[in-house]
Amino acid sequence: MQTVQFPIVEPTHPSNPYCGSTPAADGARVVVWHGSAGVFCYNFDGKELWKKDLGAVRNEYGYGSSPILHRGKVILNFGPGERAFLCALDLKTGKLLWKYDEPGGPKTLLKGNWGSWSTPIVAKVGGKDQILCSMLTQVVACDPKTGAKLWFVEGLAEPLTDLIYPSPVVSGNIGVAFTGSSGGPTIGFKLGGTGDVTASNRLWLEKQTQRIGSGVVVGGNVFIVNAGPGTAQCMECQTGKIRWSERLEGGESWGSVVMAAGRLYVTSRRGVTTVFQPDPDKLELLAMNDLGEPSNATPAISDGQIFLRTDKHIYCLAEE
């Protein structure tokens, strides 16, 4: 076990305790982001290999984006706050390789309710890897080698609050990006192009319910479970049409939907894991597991085992 000591108490929302970021691993190294305390890399024996101080994170909700790994790089959406940026670190050394400042900036501040907590994804666009991230006002595509902004789509800004939580999802050459506040926009867009492709690439914009966790794309549809009303939904990526929306007995979820063995899993804030089929026509429930402990986490699946983190414990579930 490794513990990181940090002398300053960071501000955070009561419902977003510390350790809000998911580690990333490649089989030899584990990388974790601890907000203002920095990014840390360990080997599988727990030995610290490097650490990188990227500066302070200051906002009333705390941090929540997770690092991802791509071709020897650690990609991180740092922030939000007056300092917010996408960056890449060398996985072996922690050296900062590039930094792209988030569009928008402090001028969009309104009572502190602003920013992107979205975790970047890697998408294949025109046969090449690109880093996609839902930023403060737009979806941005960056070159993973240099950090250069390749293209962007506007549509994530709101008049009162700009809160971006879920990661974008991709279905073929179509992307879907979500905002976080209730009534905020969700947009669908074609991937690729150069510069501002909003006019040419954006396919639709719809006002949707509050979303914090990310969704999973199956067969051209995105399956996502919402915060607030605690509903599961199936949405067409091409059109934004809601094919079905059903309330889950387990309650609202802040964690993301994951898929394994043809089944979808999501854990609610009450600690109820719901298992359902990726059926585009109806909600087909398969199982519900109640751990009886609160959780904001996403199930992690490896080698036929499901790992679940609650506020008090870590569970491992598997078939006998």
User: If pLDDT is split at 50, 70 and 90, which confidence band does 112 have?
Assistant: very low
Is residue 107's pLDDT more than 60?
no
> How many angstroms separate the CA atoms of 308 and 310, rounded?
7
Average pLDDT, stretch 225-246? 94
On whether the CB atoms of residues 142 and 150 are closer than 8 A, the answer is yes
> How many angstroms separate the CA atoms of 160 and 125, rounded?
33
Q: How many residues would you count in the chain?
A: 320
Q: pLDDT by residue (tens digit) across 160-214?
A: 567 899 999 999 999 999 998 888 899 999 999 999 999 999 999 998 888 999 9
Is residue 315's pLDDT more than 80?
yes
Token output for 53: 């101080």
DSSP 8-state code for residue 86: E
Pairing of strands 305-309, 300-302: antiparallel
Average pLDDT, stretch 242-258? 95
Biggest alpha carbon distance in the chain?
A: 56
Total-model pTM: 0.93
Q: Which amino acid is at 46?
A: G
Q: Which residue has the higher pLDDT, 230 or 95?
A: 95
Average pLDDT, stretch 66-93? 95
Q: Name residues whose C-beta falls within 8 Å of residue 196's C-beta, 6 or more positions apart in sequence.
A: 151, 152, 154
> How many angstroms separate the CA atoms of 20 and 18, rounded?
5
> How many angstroms separate the CA atoms of 99 and 176, rounded?
24
Burial letters for 9-33: b for 16+ Cβ neighbours within 10 Å, e otherwise? ebebeeebeeebbbbbeeeebbbbb
What share of the chain has pLDDT > 70, as a percent?
95
How many other CB atoms are there within 10 angstroms of residue 241's CB atom?
12
> How many angstroms separate the CA atoms of 54 and 83, rounded?
10
Report the chain's mean pLDDT, rounded to a whole number. Answer: 91
> How many angstroms separate the CA atoms of 69 and 174, rounded?
23
Q: Which residue has the higher pLDDT, 15 or 107?
A: 15
> How many angstroms separate the CA atoms of 74 and 313, rounded?
28
Q: What is the pLDDT of residue 109?
A: 45
Instruction: Identify which of 237, 239, 152 has the alpha carbon closest to the alpha carbon of residue 197.
Output: 152
Strand segments, DSSP code E, in 135-271 are 138-142, 149-154, 162-164, 169-171, 174-178, 185-190, 195-196, 202-207, 216-218, 221-225, 231-236, 242-247, 258-260, 263-267
Token output for 223: 């399956």
Instruction: Identify which of 189, 180, 246, 171 has the alpha carbon closest to the alpha carbon of residue 214.
Output: 180
Is residue 314's pLDDT more than 50?
yes
- Long-range contacts, 305-310 (Cβ 8 Å, 24+): 306/260, 306/265, 308/267, 308/273, 310/271
